[in-house]
Amino acid sequence: MRFLRTAVLLLLVIGCSGTTTAAVETTASARARPDEVVVRFVSCGGMTCEGGDSMSVTADGRAGSLREGELVVVPLPAAELRDLRAGLVEALAGREGTLDRTGGATDQPFAVVTVVDSGARTHETRLEGTPSAQDAPVVAATERLSKLTARIRSTGTPDVTAPITVTMYEDPSAGPMRRATWPEGITTPIEAASGGNFGTQTYRGDEATALRTALGKAGENVTVTAGGKTLIARWEAVLP
């Protein structure tokens, strides 16, 4: 009898321990990494996204956008981040997926709102064309994110450690522009694209730092010589 009671107790302890461990693992898996993007927003015109709104917010509250090609960041207080995520989840509730209000027209503006809730579930709505009355919550969400984007761009601090994307193309007849020296030991975007006369490549860490120094200001076209070719290169930071 004593052996039976001992066996039952062991089973109960093991069972409770397993349940507790599973609960902890479930909670841990739902918790986003600090650098994981939990809010993303893009708003584009009918023909192009050039000059449109775009921003992202990570789980640790780093709200970022591009200002003249450079990533600028504003830290959001924890309470503001919680309110932002909860409000966006509520706005998108029941209205996820693509809301097509174009009426069959082409080249219509669109906005995309993405948010990760506290349970690690992703919600996303793409609103195309002129919104209807029932789209009011989504429109309010885009307006809120547009204001946050403007705030980031006006007050954000540049993050000079951010990855950058370099675009390069060949142009033998390029007009006068500032010349730059491509750093030795770094593969050019054209080389990374396996030849041709056009390429785009993302660089991180020391390579990104070296290229920032060599190419100068973000968004500025410069002439570089690599592999015996005259190439035009420009860079901009990567939005998380």
Q: What is the pLDDT of residues 69-109, one digit of tens each?
A: 999 999 999 999 999 999 999 999 989 999 999 998 888 99
d(CA 127, CA 208): 35
Give me 3's structure tokens.
Answer: 């052996």
* 2, pLDDT greater than 70: no
Give me 140's structure tokens.
Answer: 């309010």
- Once rounded to an integer, what is the mean pLDDT over residues 202-208? 98
DSSP state letter for 30? H
Residue 50 is predicted with a pLDDT of 74
| Band of pLDDT at residue 8, cut at 50, 70 and 90 | very low
Beta strand extents in 137-197 (DSSP E only): 157-158, 164-170
| Band of pLDDT at residue 30, cut at 50, 70 and 90 | low
Give me 170's structure tokens.
Answer: 């060949």
- pLDDT tens readout for residues 209-225: 999 999 999 999 999 98
- Once rounded to an integer, what is the mean pLDDT over residues 15-44? 64
Tell me how far the alpha carbon of residue 47 is from its chain's centroid.
21
Give the residues across from 73 on adjacent strands: 64, 157
d(CA 95, CA 77): 28
Residues 214, 180: contact at Cβ < 8 Å? yes
Give me 121's structure tokens.
Answer: 């579930």
- pLDDT tens readout for residues 157-197: 999 999 999 999 988 777 778 999 999 999 999 989 887 88
Residue 156 is predicted with a pLDDT of 98
- How crowded is residue 131: how many other Cβ atoms within 10 Å of its Cβ? 15
Give the residues across from 231 on adjacent strands: 170, 224
Decide the pairing of beta strands 97-101 and 122-129.
parallel
Residues 200, 32: contact at Cβ < 8 Å? no
* 22, pLDDT greater than 80: no
Average pLDDT across the chain, whole number = 87
Residue 23 is predicted with a pLDDT of 39
Give me 199's structure tokens.
Answer: 């390429």
d(CA 114, CA 141): 10
